[in-house]
């Protein structure tokens, strides 16, 4: 096992609160910023909080783990709505929620029009008549109304106003009692969210802090004209956390891309310049901690050793690098590689090596483990002697 130095790994968290239909079925989850696993409320709602939620949900935990096949409601600040910060995921999995704190001016309207034209469903959060959000009603798919913020007549007026727009579906928020739920049902709300139905829950995992310098370098490569694929691959593979995130965002579950990959090279080609650039920019906003460079270097060393050994054996070298890197990453996170592999878009040989240790790539990894442990008998007589002979 690689060392687990303080500061290399950190626990990351995302809150989620279910949204229900009139039949009581969960149809989606609102994703919420959480600083720690015990946090009850979000301590921040700014651009950093949104960036942290997106990075954690899509690249650390995995959107399928958080929401299964349901849509996610993601709170957006002005920076995301007007295009100053990117949204590097497709429209199939997320509802973009315009926070009530956003001033709806011409720039915001134009930005929301652009996002709606790209296919993103738009939700208005904590809608109140007279707030200025009315300008966005023609673009909205969902309007969320805080049932505790309005009296009975105000709630009725808000519902009546929204019902003038046939595209709008109404979500009743902050339903805390059975009576609140009954009133919302009687007013014809389509969806429901609140403590009477379920409280927010926190989903957590352990993540490796990537090198900020490498993310800055990556962003520089991606904005510097025509992308040199090999330069990008070399930079990404030099940082285990950056490599893991690149594989994760190539995952079919989060991007709708029906392809598995066996290497960072394939993931880079699959994602393309725009998507990679957007994720790199978002990571710079969201990550505030630096990784322990010594431990990260040891992880890359294992990956390079797997790559070199595979080359000598006539095996796919890039796939072997990925096996070594993910194995080392799992050690840094103190998690079994077999637990990590299923949420990444891995080819069959790579997944098999990580989950069961079987196959030629599994034997490569076993030899490297034996070398790291100074296990001379395992090096001399590895399982399946043909591998040692090829090395």
Measured CA distances, 387 to 115, 229, 304, 312, 364 (Å): 53, 31, 17, 10, 7
Read off the pLDDT of residues 85-111 as tens digits, 9 standing for 90 and up: 778 777 887 999 999 989 999 999 999
Question: What is the pTM (predicted TM-score) of this model?
Answer: 0.67
245 three-state secondary structure: helix
DSSP 59-75: III-HHHHHTTSEEEEE
Q: Look up residue 53 and give its two tokens.
A: 């939620």
3-class secondary structure, 276: helix
Residue 8 clears pLDDT 60, i.e. is over it:
no
What's the CA dihedral at 90, 94, 96, 97 to 10 degrees?
Answer: -170
Nearest in space to 357 (alpha carbons), one of 345, 347, 369: 369
Q: What is the pLDDT of residues 143-202, one digit of tens each?
A: 999 999 999 999 999 999 999 999 999 999 999 999 999 999 999 999 999 999 999 998
Lowest mean pLDDT segment, chosen from 7-16, 237-246, 315-324, 352-361: 7-16
- Which pLDDT band, with edges at 50, 70 and 90, does 219 fall under? low
Residue 363 Cα distances to 78, 151, 313, 325, 346, angstroms: 51, 68, 11, 15, 18
Q: How far apart are CA 364 and CA 353, in angstroms?
A: 9
3-class DSSP state for residue 18?
strand
Instruction: Say if CB 115 and CB 87 are below 8 A apart.
Output: yes
Which of 161-165, 190-194, 205-209, 312-316 has the weakest average pLDDT?
205-209
Picking from 16-20, 208-212, 240-244, 386-390, which range would have the lowest pLDDT averaged per residue? 386-390
Fold adopted by 212-391: Hypothetical protein af1432 (1.10.3210)
DSSP three-state, residue 243: helix
Q: What is the pLDDT of residues 45-71, one digit of tens each?
A: 567 778 778 878 877 777 878 888 899
Nearest to 81 by CA among 124, 39, 43, 41: 124
Q: 381, 319, 309, 380: which is closest to 354 by C-alpha? A: 319
Q: What pLDDT, in 10s, does the model give residues 340-389?
A: 777 666 778 888 999 999 999 999 999 998 988 887 776 666 554 333 33
**246 pLDDT tier (thresholds 50, 70, 90):** confident
User: Are 47 and 54 in contact, with CB atoms under 8 Å apart?
Assistant: no
- Sorted by sequence, the CB contacts under 8 Å of residue 245 that are 6+ apart come out as 55, 59, 60, 210, 279, 283
| 358: helix, strand or coil | coil
According to CATH, the superfamily of the domain at 9-204 is: EAL domain (3.20.20.450)
Domain boundaries along the sequence of the chain: 9-204, 212-391
Q: How far is CA 201 from the centre of its chain?
A: 17
Inform me whether the pLDDT recorded for 223 exceeds 60.
no
Q: What is the pLDDT of residue 53?
A: 84
């Amino acid at each position: 096992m690689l060392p687990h130095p303080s500061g290399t790994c950190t626990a990351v968290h995302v809150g989620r609160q279910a949204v229900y239909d009139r039949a009581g079925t969960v149809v989606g989850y609102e994703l919420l910023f959480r600083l720690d696993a015990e946090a009850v409320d979000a301590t921040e709602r700014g651009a950093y909080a949104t960036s942290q939620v997106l990075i954690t949900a899509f690249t650390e935990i995995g959107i399928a783990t958080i929401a299964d096949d349901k849509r996610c409601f993601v709170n957006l600040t002005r920076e995301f709505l007007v295009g100053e910060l990117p949204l590097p995921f497709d429209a199939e999995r997320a509802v973009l929620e315009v926070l009530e704190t956003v001033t709806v001016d011409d720039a915001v309207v134009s930005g929301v029009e652009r996002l709606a034209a790209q296919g993103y469903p738009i939700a208005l959060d904590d809608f109140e008549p007279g707030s200025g959000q009315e300008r966005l009603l023609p673009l909205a798919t969902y309007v969320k109304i805080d049932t505790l913020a309005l009296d009975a007549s105000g709630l009725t007026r808000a519902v009546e106003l929204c019902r003038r727009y046939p595209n709008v579906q109404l979500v009743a928020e902050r339903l805390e009692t059975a009576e609140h739920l009954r009133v919302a049902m009687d007013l014809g709300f389509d969806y429901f969210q609140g403590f009477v139905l379920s409280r927010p829950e926190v989903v957590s995992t352990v993540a490796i802090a990537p090198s900020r310098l490498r993310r800055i370098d990556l962003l520089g490569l991606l904005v510097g004209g025509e992308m040199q694929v090999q330069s990008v691959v070399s930079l990404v593979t030099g940082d285990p956390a950056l490599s893991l995130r690149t594989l994760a965002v190539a995952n079919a579950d989060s991007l709708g891309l029906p392809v598995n990959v066996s290497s960072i090279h394939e993931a880079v080609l699959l994602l393309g310049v725009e998507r990679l650039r957007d994720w790199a920019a978002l990571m710079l906003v969201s990550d505030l901690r630096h990784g322990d460079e010594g431990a990260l270097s040891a992880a890359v060393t294992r990956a390079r050793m797997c790559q070199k050994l595979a080359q000598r054996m006539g095996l796919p070298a890039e796939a072997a690098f990925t096996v070594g890197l993910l194995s080392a990453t799992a050690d840094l996170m103190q998690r079994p590689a077999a637990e990590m592999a299923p949420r990444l878009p891995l080819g069959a040989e790579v997944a098999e090596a990580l989950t069961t240790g079987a196959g030629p790539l599994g034997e490569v990894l076993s030899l490297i483990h034996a070398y790291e442990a100074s296990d001379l008998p395992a090096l001399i007589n590895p399982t399946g002697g043909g591998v040692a002979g090829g090395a």
